[in-house]
Structure 1
């Protein structure tokens, strides 16, 4: 894989030319910044920027004013190759708080294994209706110490937009949901992406996560996507790299509360990556 070429393709298709990720949201290109504006329960933030030392502070201040005027929390999704090099320090100075740094992993679907079966006693259920969404929410409640994430909101939005899609998969032991993970297909791009993985503690380390990756990759292959992308935690990165994913850099969410104070975020971040708990599946 030509890493520089694929990173440039990712920047163009998934960031600069990004489409809204839910009904009611819009993507705006304002000067050197691409941002999403969504309802309060959606994702609001900066997807792409191309700044230099002379323009960065003014662009950051503009986004702070814009989102603060609407009373919205804003996330600036910064990548390690973004300019200027001191963008993280400038965001921090403007009241943004850094969250966990994740690794941008990409793999060609043609080289990924798609035949990893779940362990004995586990069956995989495609998520296609409200009852299945509630199973995924139950997994997240148990996997993340009772903190329900926004994954249910994301899944309901995906199903409402395309009732024929399979936006997630849940792993069951009998009737007990023990792991789940989400998939996004990005029409008009070469990329599918994996999000929101979670495995309940008692079921980690048994190979469930690898089977969930294979399940989602099979869908991406069937739909004609050339690449799969993951924002990986430090725990899931080694597993994904063994499967064929390549690190193209890192990404760090910088979050600013409406008040400008460093309030703690809720568990909605759990739905925005294949997380630490999922990686142990």
Structure 2
């Protein structure tokens, strides 16, 4: 499939028609936005916005359209999450409009994180048997001990507090295990790499998330092996495509594997403080 058509399919299935990502989460379509709201440790934010398509997909088509209309929609989302007491993310894609939406988010108090590249390919087209380094084995994550190993890898690989990832994964494994699977790579019993696969029932896509390898084990093929492992699972579960928000470090590897570039994606985060929520 051509990148444009694949991107359109992605937008429709995973953004405009998004489903809740975990227990306690709900997806709402409010005017020209699709958003998810859930527990504080879940992902909260804007999945889709149709701010530059009047009369189409919920785009602005009222007398307040234009710049003032866009700013009003942004303010409405801030008010919603502030009332809920939740910090949230506006997930902005490179092909979203209007062209100055990023500037308007910054002006409203959002903070931009690193831009990543949205990539996808057919799951069955990826290499099926990528060899692991000698002495390394892959183990499915099915319990709390395995989740702790995933969190350990993520914190060592990225240097960030990843406890929320562990809570999200535990919740989903307990409440809806058919929508997520995770794997950890062990070297002499030590977790050295880990990754997650989000399965989206009723769609053509499965998402590759959280892939990380601790320093000292990078450059040995573990990332490629975990991509291949998860792609096999995705294909076996009936998902034609796998997609990933690729960091600059992983994008060249994915390109060599045959992934297509569909767009870019940048998280814009709005932090809701306790005193802000109390005043709402």
Same fold (TM over 0.5): yes
Q: Which residue of 2 aligns with 1:100?
A: 114
Q: Which residue of 2 aligns with 1:119?
A: 133
2:179·2:201 contact (CA, 8 Å) conserved in 1?
Answer: no
Q: Which residue of 1 aligns with 2:3?
A: 3
CA spacing shift, 1:76–1:163, aligned 2, 3 Å: closer
Shift, 1:150, TM fit: 2.5
Q: How does 1:74-93 map to 2 (within 5 A)?
A: 74-93=88-107
1:13·1:189 contact (CA, 8 Å) conserved in 2?
Answer: yes
CA spacing shift, 1:91–1:224, aligned 2, 3 Å: same
Q: How does 1:266-277 map to 2 (within 5 A)?
A: none
Which SS does the other structure have where 2:138 is aligned? strand
Whether 1:48 and 2:62 are equivalent positions in the alignment is: no
1:95·1:260 contact (CA, 8 Å) conserved in 2?
Answer: no
Q: Which residue of 1 aligns with 2:60?
A: none
Whether 1:33 and 2:22 are equivalent positions in the alignment is: no
1:85-138 CA deviation, whole Å, 9 max, x = no partner? 111001011100100100000111132112112111111111112221111122
Which SS does the other structure have where 1:203 is aligned? coil
Shift, 1:163, TM fit: 4.2
Which residue, out of 66, 80, 91, partners 1:66?
A: 80
CA spacing shift, 1:119–1:45, aligned 2, 3 Å: same
Cα root mean square deviation, aligned: 1.7
1:162-209 CA deviation, whole Å, 9 max, x = no partner? 346761110001111111011100001000000011111011111111
Which SS does the other structure have where 1:168 is aligned? strand
Q: Which residue of 1 aligns with 2:227?
A: 213
1:43-93 CA deviation, whole Å, 9 max, x = no partner? 111000000334311110111111112221010000011110111001011
Q: Distance in 2 between matches of 1:77 and 1:23?
A: 21
The number of equivalent residue pairs is 261
Shift, 1:259, TM fit: 3.8
1:77·1:253 contact (CA, 8 Å) conserved in 2?
Answer: yes
Q: How does 1:251-270 map to 2 (within 5 A)?
A: 251-259=265-273
Shift, 1:145, TM fit: 2.9
Which SS does the other structure have where 1:150 is aligned? helix
Q: Which residue of 1 aligns with 2:156?
A: 142
Q: Distance in 1 between matches of 2:107 and 2:160?
A: 33
Q: TM (normalized to structure 2)?
A: 0.89
Q: Distance in 2 between matches of 1:218 and 1:159?
A: 19
Q: Distance in 2 between matches of 1:13 and 1:198?
A: 27
Q: Which residue of 2 aligns with 1:22?
A: 22
Q: Which residue of 1 aligns with 2:192?
A: 178
Q: TM (normalized to structure 1)?
A: 0.89
Q: Distance in 1 between matches of 2:32 and 2:195?
A: 34
1:208-233 CA deviation, whole Å, 9 max, x = no partner? 11111111001001111110000000
Q: Distance in 1 between matches of 2:241 and 2:9?
A: 11
Larger Rg: 1 or 2?
A: 2
CA spacing shift, 1:12–1:166, aligned 2, 3 Å: closer
Which runs of 5 or more structure 2 residues have no equivalent in the other structure? 53-65, 276-280
Instruction: Extract structure 1 runs of 4+ deviating beyond 4 A.
Output: 163-166
Q: Distance in 1 between matches of 2:156 and 2:169?
A: 18
Q: Which residue of 2 aligns with 1:13?
A: 13
1:7-64 CA deviation, whole Å, 9 max, x = no partner? 1110010001101111111000000000011111211110000003343111101111
Q: Which residue of 2 aligns with 1:57?
A: 71
Shift, 1:149, TM fit: 4.4
